[in-house]
Amino acid sequence: MPHGDLKVQCQALLDESAFVRDFGFVIESLADGACTLFVAYKDAFERPGGVVSGPTYVAAADVAAWLAIKTELGLHDESVTADMTAQFIRGIRRAPFRCTARVLRLGGRLVFVAAECNDEAGDIVANFAITYIRAPAKR
């Protein structure tokens, strides 16, 4: 399937899925094993002091990883997050950011993904090591 078609289908999945649609994530790019999301600033993402909250970065990284895996295993893949390690490097205030996830290893049972959130200048604000567990084959 051409990535343009997959991008449209994945964006529709985000826009229709109750667990992510309120974030308003926009897919900037999809490639084999990679996804970049644009995350527009919303007041709902703010923690006291005007800093974008950690859970916002975590959600963006998890969703970008989820979609990066779908570029490898297909839109209907049911892999789920098994583990995530986060490093919050610096905060950004009332500003959008991007999050890029890349599949590092696609194993038979586990998928290892690295994700990075960057501010508008391209500086790293958070990075993540994410492990997904692949859904067993349906019989």
Which CATH number does the domain housing residue 41 bear?
A: 3.10.129.10
Domain that holds residue 64: 3-133
Q: How far apart are CA 91 and CA 59, in angstroms?
A: 16
pLDDT tens string 57-101: 999 999 999 999 999 999 999 999 999 999 999 999 999 999 999
In the chain, the number of structural domains is 1
Cα 108 to chain centroid, rounded: 21
Q: What is the pTM of this model?
A: 0.93
What does R_g of the chain's alpha carbons equal in angstroms? 15
Answer whether residue 105 is part of any domain: yes
Answer whether residue 46 is part of any domain: yes
Residues 6+ apart with CB under 8 A from 74: none
Answer whether residue 102 is part of any domain: yes
Residues 6+ apart with CB under 8 A from 31: 3, 71
Answer whether residue 23 is part of any domain: yes
- The tokens for 135 are 């859904």
